[in-house]
Chain A
């Protein structure tokens, strides 16, 4: 999957949906950005913890897994638009047959995948139907 420090570096974001917000223009960033794409040098970036609610913009059921995700295959991957504005890529847990574009979802803490020869297990954010 990836090296340990590389994953751990963003642990707060991966575990708790910690992103950022630009105080200057009011835009939210998840994944976090430390440089505002709208204001650039005049931006003022502050940490922001997302509520974790949003909706499915689009999704797919993956049958040929990414490296490290073989044991979960098939799995649903989606682009989720958070209520604060930004979108992210994450897995949605649940019956793929019941998922649809526009479905309301909320974030949960789950096992993400397994890493390489050392068999490290990664945890992070997935989503489930909002009413589950």
Chain B
């Protein structure tokens, strides 16, 4: 297997992009990443696109071909283009497929993109599409919503470990603070714990401010074999690990409701592949689709003892300047959560941090970064570790 580096990155703005179609935003991200890499379209060997549900959001399938076409990679170049789907982990999985394609020697320069255009349908239709990441027959048909599933995780976490609504709110407060310094973030407003607690209840104990929003957005990265990465950029960022794990589709079938075993297993695989420990990681983007999800994630990734995620967050240990800054991009909560794009956006943020280009949200001296992307209520987890040094 060859070492792989990221040589170019780009996010579109995240938000309600009413004047842009799905193909427009992916092309903007893809071309931006290729430009950032100083590469040309002719050099691209393959394209992977993470997308969860364009069929329901914009009534369009065959996304790989569509994006290759509108990126100018089809008509004359005929490059292979593949759509990758794993619900909200589609982006992370597209990155993983792209890495494997370069590592194996099948391709040299590969684009991994992710995109979702969620605001062309109403909130109800969007919520229903998102609920299809869970078990439609045995969760959805009982009346389960996505926030409802995470609310049940939160309820048991609070019961078992004494986690409080205030601690959940601290996740949202921190991520909005980080989003304030991220130019592409959907929400750049500072909020308080009281704002979260006073917002409307969606599924007890989760308020609307405990939930990530519905977002349009696209992200892309360009990969190259490590040996030639320096021909494109002075600051290649190296992939030290790519790992993935599965778990039961339904929350009720899990070994433990408050632990995402897929995260634990994928993290163990990633740490062992990179020969690193949680203490070595300087900055991490975790999958905070709900505030409770960030608390479980930092526990399951080894950054906090099980049950202590809330306390660690309230203590400021996951803030910029703290022991292990989490979600410097603003996370899914404030940066936004265009589901298929999220896993790639996380990689863009970590590359930006490791290059030292993150401006007001820069984690000083960051050498190792991690991304954690989850599908559904935890049936898929995809984890990557990145390094400034090869």
> Which A residues form the contact surface with B (CB < 8 A)?
1-2, 6-7, 10, 14, 31, 57-67, 69, 72, 75, 77-79, 86-91, 101, 112-113, 122, 124
Q: Is residue B356 contacting chain A, with contact meaning CB distance below 8 A? A: no
- Give 4 new A-B contacts, CB below 8 A, not counting A60-B152, A67-B127: A6-B137, A62-B203, A91-B143, A101-B156
Expressed in whole angstroms, the Cα–Cα distance for A57 and B155 within the complex equals 10
Residues B143 and A10 in contact, CB atoms below 8 Å apart: no
How many angstroms between the C-alpha atoms of A67 and B250 in the bound complex? 19
- A86–B151 CA distance with the chains assembled, in angstroms: 21
> In the complex, what distance in Å separates the CA atom of A53 from the CA atom of B159?
22
Does the CB pair B156–A58 fall under 8 Å? yes
A59 to B143 alpha-carbon distance, docked (Å): 12
Chain B interface residue bracket vs A: 20 to 34
B139 at the interface (CB under 8 A from A): yes
- State A101–B205 Cα separation when bound (angstroms): 14
| Closest chain B residue, CB of each to CB of A30 | B138
Partner of A65, one of B136, B143, B205, B206: B143
Query: When the two chains form the complex, which single residue of A10, A65, A88, A113 contacts B145, counting CB atoms closer than 8 Å?
Result: A65
Contact A88 B128 (CB under 8 A): no
B124 to chain A, nearest CB (A): 6
- Complex interface: chain A residues within 8 A of B153 (CB): 58
Q: List which B135-150 residues lie within 8 A (CB) of chain A.
A: 136-145, 147-148
B143, B147, B153: residue with the most chain A Cβ atoms closer than 10 Å: B143
In Å, the complex CA distance between A79 and B252 comes to 6
In the bound complex, what is the Cα–Cα distance between A18 and B159 (angstroms)? 31
Inter-chain contact B204/A61, CB cutoff 8 Å:
yes
Is there an interface contact between B152 and A77, defined as CB atoms closer than 8 Å?
yes
Structural contact, B142 and A63, CB atoms closer than 8 A: no
A62 touches B148 (CB 8 A): yes
Q: Mask for B2-31, Cβ within 8 A of A = 1, else 0? A: 000000000000000000000000000000
A10 and B253 within 8 A (CB): no
Chain B residues near A89 (CB, 8 Å)? 138-139, 142, 144, 250-252
**Chain B residues within 8 Å of A7, by CB:** 141
A-B contact pairs, 27 of them (CB 8 A): A1-B141, A2-B140, A10-B137, A58-B155, A58-B156, A58-B159, A60-B148, A60-B152, A60-B155, A60-B204, A62-B145, A62-B204, A66-B140, A66-B143, A77-B142, A77-B143, A77-B203, A88-B142, A89-B142, A89-B144, A89-B250, A89-B251, A89-B252, A101-B159, A112-B141, A122-B141, A124-B141
